[in-house]
Chains A and B, each alone.
Chain A
Amino acid sequence: MMRLSGRLRSAMIIGGQGIRARKLRTLLSMVSLFLGVLAVVVVQAGAGIAERLQLSDMELQNGIDGTKVLYGVPSAAGASQAVADTLKGRQDAVAMFSMNAVIGEPGVRPVNEGGAPFDQDWGGVQVCDASGRCVDENAGKPKGQAIELRITALTGDIRPFRPYRPKSGQWLDFTTTPQLAPRLVLNEEAAKGFERYHVPAEMRITGAPHNMTPQLIGVVKDGDSQPHAYLRLDELTNWLPLDRMTDPSSGYTDVQVALAGSTPVESVLIAKLKALSGGADMSAEPINSRKEMEDQLDLMRVIFLAMASLVLIIGCAGVLNVGLATVGERVEEFALRRAVGTPRAVLAGIVLAENLVTGLFTAAAAIGVSVAALKAVTVVLGPSEPFLQGVEFPWSAGVSGVIAGLVAGILGGFIPAIRAAGIPIATVMRA
C-alpha cells in the first residue's frame, strides 16, 4: 500500500513539475481537447434542457407528469351537472368542457371554418345526421368577418395541471364574481386571428339560445395549433346550459377532468358518473409524458453523443500528437529517471498523470464555459422563454465532462506513456 502510494505520489509530483515546465504544450493539449470535451458537455446539458423543453411542451397539452385525466365523461343527463357540482371550488381537480364557437358577424362563413389554424384551410365542415347524410354546415353563407375557435370552459384554475405560459394580459381569476360578458383568454393562434381580422364582439355557440359579448383579457401559450380560448364555466353557464355542453347534437363537444394524482375526488366522481351512465366502465389515466418521449430523446442523445465522440476523438489525436512530441523532447529526462531507479510503470504514470491533469483542467474549463453560456442564455432569453427560467446546469453534464476529460487524457496519453516507459537508459550513456 505504502509502495503504491509512493509511486502514485512520485508520478503526481513529477507530472506536476512537467506541466509547470511546459505550459505552452499543456495549453496546446488543452486547446486540442477543449472542443471535444465541450461538445460532450453541451450534448449532455443540451439533452437535459431539450428534455425539459420537450417535456414542457408536452405538459401543455397532455398535463404535468403524475396528473390523472378522466376522458369521455358520458353524455347522459345530469353528467355535466354532476361533474360541475363535484368539482366546484376544488383545486385538486378541474373539469374542462370544450366546444366550438364563432366570434364575429352572424350568418357568414368564418375565415377559418372548423376552427382551422389561420394559415391552413380545412375546407367546409360537414355535419352528419343519424342516417349518415352529411351537409355543409355553412352552405350558402357568404364569407365574412368571423373567427371559429375552440373554447374550453374551466371549473377552476387548470394551470397546476397544464402549465400554460402567459404571453400577455392576464389569466382567468376564479375568485371574483362571474361576469355576464364571458372573459376569454386566447391562445397564440387565436390571438393571431384577432390581430389579423377585425371581427364584431359577438360569440355564438351551438345550443346557446343567445349570443354573448366576450371580453378578451389575455393570451397564453397552450401548445395547441388551433385557435383556442379559455373561459370560466360559471360565466359560460349564464348563456349555455350545462347539459347542452355534452350534447352530441351541439357539435363536437368534449369533457375532460384533470385530477391531482391522489385526490379522493377521483373515486367520488367516477362513482357518480357510473351511476348516471348505467355502470359504464371508466377510469382516470395517469400522464407519463417523460416515458413516452424517452425513446425519442434516447435516439437524439445517441446521435449527438456520436457527433461529440467524433470531436472528442479528434481532440485525443491532438493530445496524442502533442504528447508524442513532448516525449520525444524528454527522452534524456526519462532515460535519466530510469537510471536513478524510477520504474517503467512510474514513468508511464508520469505521462498519464500529466495528461489526466490536463484533461481535468480542460473539463473544468469546458464546464465553466458551458455554465457561463447557459447563465447568459437564461438571462437574455429567460424573460421571453419561461421554460428557460430556473434552468440550471445539469450535474450529469458536469460528470460527463469530467469523464470525457479523463478518458481523453488516458486515450491521448496512452501511447506517449508506453513510449516513455520504453526509452532505453543507455540513451544517457550515448549522449
Chain B
Amino acid sequence: MTSLIELAGITKVLKGQKEPRTILDGVGLTVRAGESVAIVGRSGSGKSTLLSVLGLFDRADSGTYTLDGRDISKLPERHAAKLRSSHFGFVFQRFFLLKHLTAAQNVAMALVNGQGWLPRRERRTRVMQALDQVGIAHLAKNRPAKMSGGEQQRVAIARALVRDPRILLADEPTGALDTETGTVVIDALQEATTRGCALILVTHDRDHAARMGRIVDLQAGVLTERVPVLAGAGVDAPTTELPRIGGPA
C-alpha cells in the first residue's frame, strides 16, 4: 500500500522567547490510507504542534511533508486552505460548534466554505448522511445547547466527515467526555477508517490509543514508533509502555 502522508525531518522551533525551544525535532512519520495512528506523549511534548503541521494549520521550519506523493512543505496558504477542505477532517477536544447554528448547519459549515458550491438539496443530503454515519440524524435541527457532550462531539465528527476526507485528524476528541461516551466517539472515528480514511488521533487515553493500528510516542519533539498493536486480533497489547498521567509515581 502506498503511503498517504510522509513526514521526513520535520522540525519546528518556537521563537519569540528568550531561548528558542525546539518543539518538533526531525520528526518522521508515514501514514497509509485507511490506517489509524495514535500519537501519544506528555503534555507539551509537541503532539498538537505535530497535528497542526499535519493539518496544514502551521508550517514546519524544515523537513519535507509529502501528501499523496506531492511535496506540500511550502504550500501557499490559499492552496493549503483548498487541501484542508478536500483532504482533511478535523475533530478537536472542545467541539467548536457554533451555538447559533443547528447541528445540520454546523455540519454544513464544512460545505459552505467558499471551496466550490453545492446546491442546497445536495448539501442537505450530504449533511444528513454524515449525521447518520455518527448516529445522530434525528438531532439535525437541534442547537448545541440542547445536546449532550457526546452528541456535540459526534456533530463535530459529522462536520469532519461530510466532505469525505482522506485524513481525519483528531486532537484529544474524548478529553472532555466520560469513558463510555468517549468510546462511542472513538467508534465513530474508527468507522471512517473502514472507508479508506486515515485517522491520526492525539490522545492521552491508553485504551483509545490501543484501539488504533499504530501508536507513536512523541517525547521532547522526537517521535518514536511504539509497540505495534494488532487491533481486533484478540491480542492484549502491552499498554503499560504508554505514558501515564497522574496516579502513583
Partners in one complex: yes
Complexed CA–CA distance, A340 and B85 (Å) = 5
Complexed CA–CA distance, A5 and B113 (Å) = 12
A17 touches B105 (CB 8 A): yes
B81 touches A338 (CB 8 A): yes
User: Is B55 interfacial (CB 8 A cutoff)?
Assistant: yes
B86 touches A339 (CB 8 A): no
User: Is B51 interfacial (CB 8 A cutoff)?
Assistant: yes
User: Is B183 interfacial (CB 8 A cutoff)?
Assistant: no
A343 touches B116 (CB 8 A): no
Chain A residues contacting B57 (CB-CB under 8 Å) are 339, 424-426, 429
Interface centre among A338, A424, A425 (most CB of B within 10 A): A425
Binds A, one of B25-33, B94-102, B147-155, B203-211: B94-102
B114 touches A336 (CB 8 A): no
User: Is B84 interfacial (CB 8 A cutoff)?
Assistant: yes
User: Is A7 interfacial (CB 8 A cutoff)?
Assistant: yes
User: Is B82 interfacial (CB 8 A cutoff)?
Assistant: yes
Complexed CA–CA distance, A338 and B58 (Å) = 12
A429 touches B114 (CB 8 A): no
User: Is B159 interfacial (CB 8 A cutoff)?
Assistant: yes
A127 to chain B, nearest CB (A): 88
The residue of chain B having its C-beta at the shortest distance from the C-beta of A343 within the complex is: B81
Complexed CA–CA distance, A420 and B155 (Å) = 25
A17 touches B101 (CB 8 A): yes
Complexed CA–CA distance, A429 and B57 (Å) = 9
User: Is B112 interfacial (CB 8 A cutoff)?
Assistant: yes
The residue of chain A having its C-beta at the shortest distance from the C-beta of B105 within the complex is: A17
Chain A residues contacting B94 (CB-CB under 8 Å) are 428, 431
The residue of chain B having its C-beta at the shortest distance from the C-beta of A2 within the complex is: B117
The residue of chain B having its C-beta at the shortest distance from the C-beta of A8 within the complex is: B114
User: Is A205 interfacial (CB 8 A cutoff)?
Assistant: no
User: Is A196 interfacial (CB 8 A cutoff)?
Assistant: no
Would you list which residues of chain A between 337 and 355 have a CB under 8 Å from chain B? Answer: 337-346, 349
User: Is A133 interfacial (CB 8 A cutoff)?
Assistant: no
The residue of chain B having its C-beta at the shortest distance from the C-beta of A13 within the complex is: B112
Number of interface residues of B (CB under 8 A): 33
A429 touches B113 (CB 8 A): no
B78 touches A333 (CB 8 A): no
B82 to chain A, nearest CB (A): 7
B37 to chain A, nearest CB (A): 18
The residue of chain B having its C-beta at the shortest distance from the C-beta of A338 within the complex is: B81
B81 touches A344 (CB 8 A): yes
User: Is B67 interfacial (CB 8 A cutoff)?
Assistant: no
User: Is B110 interfacial (CB 8 A cutoff)?
Assistant: yes
User: Is A14 interfacial (CB 8 A cutoff)?
Assistant: yes
User: Is B65 interfacial (CB 8 A cutoff)?
Assistant: no
Complexed CA–CA distance, A2 and B118 (Å) = 11
A346 touches B117 (CB 8 A): no
User: Is B3 interfacial (CB 8 A cutoff)?
Assistant: no
User: Is B109 interfacial (CB 8 A cutoff)?
Assistant: yes
Chain B residues contacting A337 (CB-CB under 8 Å) are 109, 113
The residue of chain B having its C-beta at the shortest distance from the C-beta of A10 within the complex is: B114
Chain A residues contacting B100 (CB-CB under 8 Å) are 17, 20-21
Complexed CA–CA distance, A228 and B240 (Å) = 114
Complexed CA–CA distance, A325 and B209 (Å) = 41
Chain A residues contacting B51 (CB-CB under 8 Å) are 429
Given known pairs A17-B101, A341-B86, A429-B171, the reply for A3 and B116 (CB within 8 Å) is yes
Q: B150-187 vs A: 1/0 string, CB under 8 Å?
A: 00000000010000000000010000000000000000
Would you list which residues of chain B between 30 and 85 have a CB under 8 Å from chain A? Answer: 48, 51-52, 55, 57-58, 77-78, 81-85
Complexed CA–CA distance, A337 and B98 (Å) = 10
User: Is A105 interfacial (CB 8 A cutoff)?
Assistant: no
A16 to chain B, nearest CB (A): 11
Given known pairs A20-B100, A341-B85, the reply for A426 and B58 (CB within 8 Å) is yes
Complexed CA–CA distance, A405 and B58 (Å) = 38
Chain A residues contacting B113 (CB-CB under 8 Å) are 10, 337, 340-342, 346
The residue of chain A having its C-beta at the shortest distance from the C-beta of B78 within the complex is: A343
B48 touches A333 (CB 8 A): no
A341 touches B82 (CB 8 A): yes
Interface centre among A21, A339, A426 (most CB of B within 10 A): A339
B155 to chain A, nearest CB (A): 13
Given known pairs A10-B114, A10-B117, the reply for A339 and B105 (CB within 8 Å) is no
Chain B residues contacting A6 (CB-CB under 8 Å) are 114-117
User: Is A332 interfacial (CB 8 A cutoff)?
Assistant: yes
B114 touches A7 (CB 8 A): yes
Given known pairs A426-B57, A429-B52, A429-B92, the reply for A341 and B115 (CB within 8 Å) is yes
The residue of chain A having its C-beta at the shortest distance from the C-beta of B97 within the complex is: A336
A341 touches B117 (CB 8 A): no
User: Is A9 interfacial (CB 8 A cutoff)?
Assistant: yes
Given known pairs A17-B101, A21-B100, the reply for A339 and B114 (CB within 8 Å) is no
Q: A349-373 vs B: 1/0 string, CB under 8 Å?
A: 1000000000000000000000000
Given known pairs A17-B100, A428-B92, A428-B96, the reply for A340 and B109 (CB within 8 Å) is yes
B117 touches A340 (CB 8 A): no
Chain A residues contacting B86 (CB-CB under 8 Å) are 341
Chain A residues contacting B171 (CB-CB under 8 Å) are 429
Q: B95-138 vs A: 1/0 string, CB under 8 Å?
A: 01010110001000110111111000000000000000000000
Chain A residues contacting B90 (CB-CB under 8 Å) are 339-340
Chain B residues contacting A7 (CB-CB under 8 Å) are 114
Can you give 20 contacting A-B residue pairs, CB < 8 Å? A2-B116, A2-B117, A10-B112, A10-B113, A14-B112, A17-B100, A21-B101, A339-B55, A339-B90, A340-B90, A340-B159, A342-B81, A344-B78, A425-B57, A425-B58, A429-B51, A429-B52, A430-B48, A431-B92, A431-B96
Given contacts A6-B116, A336-B98, 10 further A-B contacts (CB under 8 A): A7-B114, A11-B114, A14-B112, A340-B110, A340-B113, A340-B159, A342-B81, A345-B114, A346-B113, A426-B52
- A residues near B (Cβ < 8 Å) are 2-3, 5-7, 9-11, 13-14, 17, 20-21, 332-333, 336-346, 349, 424-426, 428-431
User: 3 tightest CB-CB pairs across the interface, nearest first?
Assistant: A341-B85, A6-B117, A21-B100
